Structure 1
Amino acid sequence: MLTKSRPLDGISGFYRAHKAELLSLALLLPLAGVSLSVNSTPRDHQITIDDFFGLSTMTQSQISPNGKQSVWVESRWDEALDKAQTELWHIDNNSRKTTRLTFSDENESSPVWSPDNRYIYFIAKIGEKDPLHPYQGIAQVYRIAATGGQPQVITRTVTGVNAFELNRSGDNIYYSTTKEITDKDQFAALRAEHGKVNYAHGKKTTHPIYRLNLQHFNQELLLDDDKVVWQFSVNDNETKIARITTTDNELIFLEGRSHIEVFDIKQGTNTSLADEQWRGKAPSPYGWLLGLDWHQDNQRLAFRIDFDGYPGQLFVANTAKQAHIIPVTPPNQVTYFGDNLHWRGDSNDICYRGAYKARVKLYCTEMNGSTQGKSRAVIEGDLVIGSYSFTDSGKQVAVSHDGLDHVSDLFIADADSPRAQLKRLTHINPQIDSWKLPQISIVKWQAADGTQVEGILELPFGYTKAQGKLPLVVQLHGGPTAATPYALQHRSYGRSTFSANGWALFSPNYRGSVGYGDKFLTDLIGREHDIEVQDILAGVDKLISDGLVDAEKMAVMGWSNGGYLTNALISTTDRFKAASSGAGVFDQRLEWMLEDTPGHVINFMQGLPWEQAEAYTKASSLTHANKITTPTLIHIGENDERVPLGHGQGLYRALNHYLNVPVELIVYPGEGHGLSKYQHRKTKMLWDQKWFEHYVLGKE
């Protein structure tokens, strides 16, 4: 298959971002199937907020075609630049010698190996904008030797490269760029004449696809049909281009109005795949298409669709037979996770990440013609896998993986073995070896209706029950179609920070979370602000009854859907002494009106606002705001399109001007749904810490 880049703004970023008793509180639980070195460094460092900014994060890891080398994108916070900065890193898989390849102040991404294992192609914006060189300072494809050196610019497009693929022989690059289109309707001239105001529509950015020959550097426009292209993939014999397309850039078009099209390069013809299975027969009309990958037979195309609130689906289409589209069923209780699909080498295995009980594993399913064969986890154990890639043969796999005593490291394994063992290659955060790590365990309890629910519990380093009850922070994941993972995390949303300061931190995987079966996921539909709130409170009661938590010293926090649930909890109960609501929905009608993916609201409310008025009322914390007495800290981005600023302002108005509840509203200038600035992240973490210490622990 062609080696492909990931788009600079991958659509996966739009998504809503994981035994009968309390398990052993051992400092480190073993990871089955993982080979790790023994740590002899004394654990004497108390984790701090500043340690968060010293962590490196590994993404987009790629093993070389012959399996002897790997490359990855490493992200680090840079205080001077006030942002996270990414660079390319390389490792020799045998000697484990690592080398930093790039050193610019710009972000490198989307690494792809050349077939001869000598070069790495990637996307970057290098240099300042220059009228004499209009391609500088704009995203281009670059090439750098695996041994290091000066990157060479490969493309020279004045509008920038969005994504690219390198063909199997390494002599052609396919890439998409941008072109602005102005609508030619009856009011186009009037909009152009009065162009100093903003219009809701009238212009869009489309994505032509080019082919660049790397031997002669001849460039050819292959496809320009005024479509918005969210992702594309070229088959191995370079006869077909598959695309996920919409007619407009607005994100709402991706929800249920996106298509998979197959373009025949030689014939110049374009065909849309019949979409009855993932549209007409789908659990929701608001599905997101994602994840294209061609089999080496050049005919079969794998792709996915995701939904808010419903389990995602995976399909294999035989493009030589228009009606031949096969749904792939995942293993029991596994939820498809992410958009990185890969056929494994020359095999018939389609491989994907799947969420399973707070883990994220790599699964492969054998597809023999129109028949689904066996599915298997490629590597067993308590894994939280990020990116992964196979060698050309498919016999070796490299995965980035978070464990209980490390974050974001690269491992390799034999992908053919039924009992594959992970071999650790990198150690990109050696400082963690000295950290006093939280004791991470899984707690299970029964919900009010008898359903078993799980959550992740962090307790302070060295803590025992004999030391007494702990204050509690309940930290709630976003989505809600997501889950808190069973792995070490140091996050600006609470994990590691609070347990290091003597708190218990509890992250429930409430109803609606992935990895616990389809029913567990869909139980939340039509019951937001109700069933998941009861799940969370039942989990808190479990910790109290186990004698771990002081019921008089509890706080709650979350971001995105976690912020929504924070609002829901404080408008349901007065048990929490403090709250931190981050980017949280306050009113469901306002959310439908203003957010960029309204299908999310429609799915959970089971209809539009005028169809399900009572549902929108019940699921809005605004309706229950008069019950709020909890001192609340509100965080929100000024330019958040997912949970717009009005939600934070409305919650602040209710608490400050009408209910006389202690409240602080923090609006982060220029930020969207997540906080991208160094200082903004630190501001949030410090405010959360001081707010909880004051209102829960009584500190000045």
Structure 2
Amino acid sequence: MLLNFRRNVSASICLFPFLAVAQSPKPSITLDEYLNTTDIVGTSLAPDASAAVIATESPDWKASVYRHDLWLWTAQAGLKPLTHSGTDEQPRWSPDGKWIAFVSDRTPGGSADSDADAEGTKCSRIWLISASGGEALPLYSEKLDVHAFAWSSDSSAIYFSAKAPLTHEQEDAQKDDWKDVVRWREQYRGDVLLKLAVAPALARSIAVPLATEAPTSAKADAEPSSKLAAGAETIAKMDLAISEIAPSPDGKRVAFLTEPIHKRIENPADYEIFLVGSTGGNMHQVTHNQAVESNIRWSPDNRWIHFSVNAAAGSLEGKYRDVQGRLYRLDPESGKTERLGASFDGSLDQYTLLADGRELALGLKGIETQVYLIEGEKATKLPGVAGSYAGLESAHASNALLLRHSTMNDPTQVYLAADPLQTDKLKKLTSFNPVFGERAQPEFQPYTWKSDDGQAVEGVLIFPPGKKGAKHLRMFTLIHGGPADADGNRFGADWYDWATFAADNGWLVFRPNYRGSTGYGDEFMLGIEPHLVSKPGRDILAGVDALVKDGYADPDHLAIGGYSYGGYMTNWLITQTTRFKSAVTGAGAVEHAANWGNDDETRDDAWYLGGRPWENPALYQDEAALFRFDKVRTPTHLVQGGADIRVSYLEGETMERALDSLGIPHTFLVFPGEGHSLDKNPWHGYIKLREELKWLEKYDKQ
């Protein structure tokens, strides 16, 4: 708030100096400034819309970790810190507005003892803090790692899921029989769905703030329930994990969503919606399909269960296939499902239900995400501001709307819309990352070209500051991951989405939304199958050719790069052409058979390539960069997370060995302990981006 105050003062009392400053160029942003951003990762709106909790993630460079903090906004006090531990996430207001629940890996009572469960998993518990502030209290102290949670409709209890605990005898037997041996699949245990009354739980927390309570008897010590949260009721037991929980507004039923324990998408049937009474009893499955459902919510009248299927997560219409995001609602009595917003030819993802039952959703079409009113099959775009919206959330007792908005140069902020149908009239609640407004900013424009088969393809051109429309520029083609994603008018400033930083450093950045991207209709998205890299690869090369022909790109100063699927494409494209002076690639497969076995989205891989490896071996080889590496001449910089299960670290090792055997200039950076998202240590992302930019500069000057 102090920074805003200073800007307002300078604008009001320094009129003539301001004119001189406005004519002077702003300085370029530094790497330190660019990556020292605060990301908004979650929000929760008070039931009456009078306050909001905002969850953020920011780098802690001294501790080499990312902080997760909660902030409280009120109309009276503005934005203030709510928690201070640095590990607090997923805030949820109680329906009565008195409490805010959140997830944290704090240790109850501040104990220095190990807080891991029997398998060594660090426990994240549910904590509560009063809406008026004060100290947070754990809902329970037992070593139960929460997987999902939700408030009961009357705020008296919290439902949550956790891995079914072992008895002490079972733990001892497992250690004696198996030592440290991992029994793949065999030792997996499903979740229990628990209900815990809040008032007595808080009373116990205040009275006994230690790590665990002693069992009351030898019999209790021998039973699994002794390791559940004290006072908890077991509502359901599953062989699967429980990833989402939605109690009905009338308090009679609980819907929940399952997923595989190992988190790998092998069988869409693992992702289904179940119903159980709010106190337990008979449980039944209410969906049976090949889609990966998510975001389950009840309608306010208890009539429907709404849910979404995100882009590239299948659909309810027939066999599994990667299409755009869809919205549905389910009648739990009859099992009948209806698709909502079907007339929209973009991708529908996040949605919310207003207190009066109306549904709003975010729709990606082209290079922007806007807000739409969903009425049956109809989707009507609401008045909005240019750019991209995210984080749609309504209040329980008000039709006010909480949402986020950004543009390519304006960092994401949280806004409140008093009228949910007027999302162009917004009250700004946050002012994170002000440095971007104080630095020189690149400009962008959409760019459309024809691929080799005549298909129109769109992308974005990002120009260096002050050079919009300039010609004969050195060009960096930065390919988005997914492939179910799209680049456009939204903010990005991190190790993955660094297009504006490249532009700030003198590159014309080309971001192609090749076939397989979302926001351009199902047919366009399905055009990637079964030619996983060759079809979109031709789209990208046609775009590069068009930009050279139109005079934007200097053909002697071209570079290429990407991460994840963008890495797949980079690895493939350097086998197809020698036009690029350099390449930077990360977490991209070079073959598809072993990657099918290692990838945690293996169902997706098999769909893209027309079956499992033995069902279509020729295509697995034809679409693999590895078998064309004799044609590579491009100096290539590789990065990989050492613990990545989305694209195995061994894919990077294989590529490095191939480049080394061919004598191609290259480097290979491995980030220990990091998965696909490089979210453990901010220095890893910092070093990645620093070295990638140096690599581009080095070979552009040769």
TM-score norm. by structure 1 comes to 0.85
> 1:690 is paired with a residue of what secondary structure?
helix
Q: Is the 8 A contact 2:516 2:536 kept in 1?
A: yes
- Residues 256, 626 of structure 1: alpha-carbon distance in 2 compared, 3 angstrom cutoff: farther
> 2:189 is paired with a residue of what secondary structure?
strand
Report deviation, 1:596.
1.8
- The 1-side partners of 2:612 and 2:331 are apart by 36
Correspondence for 1:31? none
> 1:87 is paired with a residue of what secondary structure?
strand
- The 2-side partners of 1:465 and 1:271 are apart by 60
- Residues 545, 129 of structure 1: alpha-carbon distance in 2 compared, 3 angstrom cutoff: farther
1:146 and 2:146 correspond: no
Correspondence for 1:360? 369
Report deviation, 1:62.
1.9
> 1:291 is paired with a residue of what secondary structure?
strand
Runs of 4+ in 1 over 6 A off after TM superposition: 38-41, 132-137, 188-192
Alignment of 1:131-530 (within 5 A): 138-180=123-165, 193-217=177-201, 218-246=231-259, 248-253=261-266, 255-265=268-278, 268-275=281-288, 278-279=289-290, 287-305=291-309, 306-307=313-314, 309-322=322-335, 324-337=336-349, 340-347=350-357, 349-366=358-375, 372=376, 374-417=378-421, 420-463=424-467, 469-493=472-496, 494-530=498-534
Alignment of 1:508-587 (within 5 A): 508-587=512-591
> 2:56 is paired with a residue of what secondary structure?
strand
Report deviation, 1:134.
8.9
Report deviation, 1:268.
0.6
Give 1:327's aligned amino acid: R
> 1:600 is paired with a residue of what secondary structure?
helix
Give 1:229's aligned amino acid: I
Alignment of 1:631-642 (within 5 A): 631-642=635-646
- The 1-side partners of 2:484 and 2:269 are apart by 18
> 1:177 is paired with a residue of what secondary structure?
strand
> 2:199 is paired with a residue of what secondary structure?
coil
1:670 and 2:680 correspond: no
Report deviation, 1:131.
5.4
Give 1:328's aligned amino acid: L
- The 2-side partners of 1:488 and 1:214 are apart by 39
Give 2:338's aligned amino acid: I
Give 2:566's aligned amino acid: G
Select between 444-453 and 138-147 the one with higher mean Cα deviation: 138-147
> 2:379 is paired with a residue of what secondary structure?
strand
Correspondence for 2:105? 125
Match of 2:80 among 96, 99, 114: 99
- The 2-side partners of 1:243 and 1:419 are apart by 31
Q: Is the 8 A contact 2:152 2:158 kept in 1?
A: yes
Alignment of 1:607-646 (within 5 A): 607-646=611-650
Correspondence for 2:223? none
Give 2:73's aligned amino acid: I
Give 1:392's aligned amino acid: H
- The 1-side partners of 2:77 and 2:458 are apart by 38
Give 2:101's aligned amino acid: Y
- The 2-side partners of 1:485 and 1:575 are apart by 26
Provide Cα deviations, 1:6-59, integer angstroms capped at 9, x if missing partner. xxxxxxxxxxxxxxxxxxxxxxxxxxxxxxxx9998562311211123211112
Give 2:82's aligned amino acid: L
- Residues 226, 605 of structure 1: alpha-carbon distance in 2 compared, 3 angstrom cutoff: closer
- The 1-side partners of 2:157 and 2:58 are apart by 33
> 1:506 is paired with a residue of what secondary structure?
strand
Give 1:342's aligned amino acid: T
Alignment of 1:27-106 (within 5 A): 44-92=26-74, 94=75, 97-104=78-85, 106=86
Give 1:261's aligned amino acid: F
- The 2-side partners of 1:626 and 1:373 are apart by 51
Match of 2:603 among 599, 602, 605: 599
Q: Is the 8 A contact 2:407 2:490 kept in 1?
A: yes
Report deviation, 1:522.
0.3
- The 2-side partners of 1:553 and 1:517 are apart by 34
In terms of fraction of residues, the more helix-rich structure is 2
- When the two structures are aligned, how many residues end up with a matched partner? 634
Report deviation, 1:382.
2.6
Report deviation, 1:336.
2.5
- The 1-side partners of 2:78 and 2:422 are apart by 29
- Residues 627, 132 of structure 1: alpha-carbon distance in 2 compared, 3 angstrom cutoff: closer
Report deviation, 1:117.
3.2
Report deviation, 1:664.
1.1
Percent sequence identity over aligned pairs: 24
- The 1-side partners of 2:543 and 2:241 are apart by 45
Provide Cα deviations, 1:590-640, integer angstroms capped at 9, x if missing partner. 211222221121111111211111211111001211111000111111111
- The 1-side partners of 2:646 and 2:48 are apart by 42
> 1:410 is paired with a residue of what secondary structure?
strand
Give 2:676's aligned amino acid: H
Report deviation, 1:138.
3.2
- The 2-side partners of 1:181 and 1:364 are apart by 47
Report deviation, 1:416.
4.4
- Residues 581, 614 of structure 1: alpha-carbon distance in 2 compared, 3 angstrom cutoff: same
Q: Is the 8 A contact 1:252 1:597 kept in 2?
A: yes
Correspondence for 1:4? none
Provide Cα deviations, 1:246-267, integer angstroms capped at 9, x if missing partner. 5643524453433221112357
Report 1 or 2 for greater relative contact order, CA contacts < 8 Å, sequence distance ≥ 6.
1
Unaligned runs of 5+ in 2: 1-14, 202-230, 315-320
- Residues 474, 263 of structure 1: alpha-carbon distance in 2 compared, 3 angstrom cutoff: same
- The 1-side partners of 2:531 and 2:372 are apart by 31
Select between 622-631 and 169-178 the one with higher mean Cα deviation: 169-178
Give 1:514's aligned amino acid: T
Correspondence for 2:6? none
Report deviation, 1:130.
4.8
Q: Is the 8 A contact 1:62 1:388 kept in 2?
A: no
- The 2-side partners of 1:130 and 1:424 are apart by 41
Give 1:156's aligned amino acid: S
